[in-house]
Amino acid sequence: MNKNATWCSRISDDLNCPKCKEKKVIRNGRTKNYKQQYYCKMCCHRFIESYTNQAYKLNINQNIIQLTKEGRRHCWLYLHLHQVPP
């Protein structure tokens, strides 16, 4: 066994929590799309490494809210946010 490895094989040695930046992250099941989920033991934050849906980003989320207030429809939002010409 590697001396630098943790005793628990579920703890990741190379992944930091995006919220608190700690390394005490464990694997925590999979999403319905079979992506690996992780759980931070320090701040109790659950996350995955790469998100398909980008609405969690603050600037995109604010853009969605603004366009919705303007009365835009869902299909127009999708085209606008993905930079596809209508």
Query: Tell me: the pLDDT tens digits for 44-57?
Result: 999 988 777 665 66
Query: Tell me: the pLDDT tens digits for 55-81?
Result: 566 677 777 778 788 887 766 666 666
**CB crowding 5-42: b at 16 or more within 10 Å, else e:** eeeeeeebeebebeeeeeeebbeeeeeeeeeeebbbee
Which has more confidence, 28 or 53?
Answer: 28
- Provide the whole-model pTM: 0.52
Six token digits for residue 39: 């759980």
Six token digits for residue 3: 């001396």
Q: What are φ and ψ of residue 60, in 5° steps?
A: -70, -40
